[in-house]
Structure 1
Amino acid sequence: MNTHEAQPNPNILQELVQHRMPFGKYKDTLLCDLPVSYLEWFASKGFPPGKLGMQLATMFEIKTNGLEYLLTPLRRQAGRRKV
């Protein structure tokens, strides 16, 4: 059994603190800053196809399972890069 395939991609979490919502009510909001209610709406209606949908679904899982602490060090790193 290849356990490498089951490992999460650390770049996905990095993207959540760097990429912004490209459309809608929360356009230009960092994906990690989207409110849970908005992510719940997508969960009920269906996430968009492709990479954005995967990112939103990941953020939904992080927020609804109390895992936002995983993003804290990445947020700090992203903040330092803007200087």
Structure 2
Amino acid sequence: MDTDKKFLIETAHMKMPFGKYKGTYLVDIPEYYLVWYKNKGFPAGKLGKMMALVYELQLNGLESILRKIKSK
């Protein structure tokens, strides 16, 4: 399995580890919250990269990709 595919699968199954949406799948976090993080700065490391990916997918109407992976 290539790295990008593995990262996409991990992102689909990742839950927010802290804050207002703790325990919520990243893909289920409301867009306004991700926009707030985009402006503030995503957390460092893997979580921030995952949140940035979810933000970009939501921005382009493609979050269904993560939802399909999550449901499997």
TM-score relative to the length of structure 1: 0.77
Shift of residue 8 of structure 1?
Answer: 6.9
What RMSD, in angstroms, separates the aligned Cα atoms of the two structures? 1.6
Query: Which sections of structure 2, spanning at least 5 residues, go unmatched?
Result: none
CA distance in structure 2 between the aligned counterparts of 1:16 and 1:28, rounded to whole angstroms = 14
Partner residue of 1:46 out of 35, 41, 50: 41
Out of 13, 22, 28, which is 2:23 matched to?
28
Report the equivalent of 1:71. 66
- Closer/same/farther in 2, CA of residues 8 and 68 from structure 1, 3 Å limit: farther
User: What TM-score do you get using the length of structure 2 for normalisation?
Assistant: 0.87
Q: Percent identity?
A: 44
Paired residue total:
71
Runs of 4+ in 1 over 2 A off after TM superposition: none
Greater RCO, 1 or 2 (C-alpha within 8 Å, sep 6+): 2
For 2:14, give the aligned amino acid: H
Residue type at the aligned position of 2:46: K
For residues 21 and 73 of structure 1, the distance between their equivalents in structure 2, rounded to whole angstroms, comes to 19
Q: Deviations over 1:14-66 (max 9, x none)?
A: 11221110110000111111110110000000001000000000000000111
C-alpha distance in 2 between matches for 1:70 and 1:8? 17
